[in-house]
Amino acid sequence: MSILSKISVINNNESVILLCGKESSLNNNYGLSKAEIDYIKNEIKVKEKKHVVINQLGRLVIVQITDHQKEKFAELETLRKAGCSMHAYIADAKLKSVTIVDVDGKEAELLALTEGLVLSNYQFLKYKKNKEKELFSLKNINVFSKTVSASKINELQIITNAVEISRTLVNEPANFLTATQLSKEFRKMGKDAGFEVEVLNKAKITALKMGGLLAVNLGSIDPPTFTIMEYKPAGAKNKKPVVLIGKGVVYDTGGLSLKPTPNSMDMMKCDMAGAAAVAGAMYAVAKAKLPVHVIALVPATDNRPGENAYVPGDVITMYNGLTVEMLNADAEGRMILADALAYAQKYKPELVLDFATLTGAAIAAIGMSGLVVMGNADEKTKDQLKQSGFNTFERLAEMPFWDDYDDLIKSDIADMKNIGGPYAGSITAGKFLARYIDYPWMHFDIAGPAFLTAKDSYRPKGGTGVGVRLLFDYFKNNY
Ligand code: BES
Ligand code: ZN
Ligand code: ZN
């Protein structure tokens, strides 16, 4: 699981990636001949290339120039993507090890390039018989830098591991990853990273009257779970906890409001990506020992049209006593999240952030390019979250949250219904959730970026781990 190490001497026999601010920084120190250096400089200066690859009989020397763009965050994203390009050269050459050299002391740039490289090395081969054949060769990345500390490298190792764990949870199919199995995975993560994990079983969930979670679970043979994770370090900066909530629908068939297959059901094992995001964030925060008290809640079940499945028209009494007229069994995410949001009130949280693959409407609005967000948190908190969105290139697009939308979820016979009108679907879903909160809160609809049907640079096809880096950056910078 550990791929990064900081080194203090460069081995000139090993393949290298030279990260330079300008091509004139290149010299003979890196096992390059004068002719090679001239060639590289020409490629960069005259041909305007951003990177050049030299193959010295199997030893690769890759030169990457940092790219000056108007905005820093765009420049860093370009370097993460460059890390992905380098990964392709490395994989092609079947290199086991590579050294990244920080030629011009560019800390943030070096970390971004390294991050892109590490995240590109992710694979999910558990179910392949001949794993070895497909397994990437790269096992070891040495970082040589005078500006980047060993603790930053260690932190990057933790973050990338957490992203990988999150991706794997999403990639695991529902015939392995039941709600019970998901809670077992959380227990393992808690043991490894050092946070507490408590799993409420069906009897406990029933006793607590979590009506939304139980209703969605009615069509299922497998029991629901409700996992409570807590990380409370001695030196926490916050008096009241931050609570994370993740949608843990391990598979969404749409229930009796069945989704049409193949188009919309194929990827629905991804419907626990919100749960994977918050658990991944807990893992990274605890491993890095950030001084913040965080709790994560994950209501989990599959959503199926079983014999006893809830039917459109049913009225459900939720955990906080409010009633919901269920008019579409495919709007199940808000049913289980509502119980978790209401449960979170008992912690008197300073902030609650929920992550959910909640609506197709979020994808219709902004595609895979970012996270749809809304909520009542103060402007300062919103700005901090948005800044983390840029820092990690998990950008946030805030939706309006006007009162008008509240009318769209009114029910004739219950306190609300679980669908809105034909428009603004991600907002009406958020408005539904807002009925269960009494604290500062932001909702992150990750239906678009959580799962990709084609690789996008260092974001692989399948689960992306979106949300993990965002949350870590937010906690790191603000606590
Ligand atoms: N899990 C889906 C949302 C989703 C769609 C996630 C595509 C990832 C990719 C969610 O449970 C759902 O089905 N939402 C419905 C709500 C509607 C019935 C009000 C939707 O968006 O169509
Ligand atoms: Zn659904
Ligand atoms: Zn769903």
Q: Are residues 137 and 168 in the same domain?
A: no
Mutational test site, ligand 1, from 359, 418, 426, 443, max ligand atoms within 8 Å of CB = 359
Would you say residue 154 lies in a domain? no
Q: Are residues 188 and 123 in the same domain?
A: no
Global pTM reads 0.98
Confidence of residue 1 (pLDDT cuts 50, 70, 90): confident
Active-site annotation holder among 49, 59, 259, 386: 259
Q: What pLDDT was estimated at residue 69?
A: 79
d(CA 48, CA 33): 21
Q: Are residues 197 and 343 in the same domain?
A: yes
Q: What share of the chain in percent tops pLDDT 90?
A: 96
Kindly list the distances between the CA atom of residue 274 and the CA atoms of 112, 118, 216, 280, 459, in Å, as whole numbers in the listed order. Answer: 24, 22, 17, 10, 17
- Residue identified by tokens 């794993």 is 131
Q: What pLDDT was estimated at residue 432?
A: 99
- Residue identified by tokens 């769209």 is 408
Domain end call among 112, 147, 182 = 147
What's the rounded mean pLDDT across residues 443-450? 98
Please tell me the distance between residue 264's alpha carbon and the centre of ligand 2 in angstroms: 10
The CA-CA-CA angle for residues 139, 97, 84, to 5°, reads: 75
Would you say residue 320 lies in a domain? yes
Active-site annotation holder among 334, 395, 435, 459: 334
Would you say residue 152 lies in a domain? no
pLDDT at 332 over 90: yes
Q: What pLDDT was estimated at residue 200?
A: 99
Please tell me the distance between residue 212's alpha carbon and the centre of ligand 1 in angstroms: 16
Of 22-26, 116-120, 164-168, 223-227, the poorest mean pLDDT is in 22-26
Q: Are residues 143 and 175 in the same domain?
A: no
Strand partners, 19: 64, 102
Would you say residue 385 lies in a domain? yes
Is 334 annotated in the active site? yes
Q: Are residues 103 and 176 in the same domain?
A: no
5 Ramachandran zone, left/alpha/beta (phi>0; psi -120 to 50): beta
For the chain, the domain total comes to: 2
pLDDT digits (tens, 9 = 90+) for 177-222: 999 999 999 999 999 999 999 999 999 999 999 999 999 999 999 9
Would you say residue 153 lies in a domain? no
Q: What pLDDT was estimated at residue 29?
A: 81
pLDDT at 28 over 80: no
Would you say residue 279 lies in a domain? yes
Would you say residue 156 lies in a domain? no
Please tell me the distance between residue 175's alpha carbon and the centre of ligand 1 in angstroms: 21
Mutational test site, ligand 1, from 268, 358, 443, max ligand atoms within 8 Å of CB = 358
Q: What is the CATH number of the domain that holds 84?
A: 3.40.220.10
Q: What pLDDT was estimated at residue 374?
A: 98
Domain range spanning residue 87? 3-147
Is 435 annotated in the active site? no
Q: What is the CATH number of the domain that holds 344?
A: 3.40.630.10
Which tokens sit at 244? 């994370």
Q: What pLDDT was estimated at residue 262?
A: 86
Q: Are residues 66 and 181 in the same domain?
A: no
What's the rounded mean pLDDT across residues 49-64? 96
pLDDT at 328 over 90: yes
Q: Are residues 291 and 410 in the same domain?
A: yes
Q: Are residues 105 and 180 in the same domain?
A: no
Pocket of ligand 1 (CB under 6 A): 252, 271, 328, 330-333, 357-361, 363, 419, 425, 447
Confidence of residue 263 (pLDDT cuts 50, 70, 90): confident
Domain end call among 78, 113, 147 = 147
pLDDT at 112 over 80: yes
Q: Are residues 169 and 98 in the same domain?
A: no
Q: Are residues 259 and 407 in the same domain?
A: yes
Say if residues 102 and 114 touch (Cβ distance below 8 Å). no
Say if residues 156 and 108 touch (Cβ distance below 8 Å). no
Domain end call among 116, 147, 178 = 147
pLDDT digits (tens, 9 = 90+) for 381-439: 999 999 999 999 999 999 999 999 999 999 999 999 999 999 999 999 999 999 999 99
pLDDT at 23 over 90: no
Q: Are residues 233 and 291 in the same domain?
A: yes
Q: Are residues 407 and 347 in the same domain?
A: yes
Please tell me the distance between residue 314's alpha carbon and the centre of ligand 3 in angstroms: 18
Would you say residue 68 lies in a domain? yes
Atom of ligand 1 nearest to the CA of 333: 11
Atom of ligand 1 nearest to the CA of 425: 19
pLDDT at 33 over 90: yes
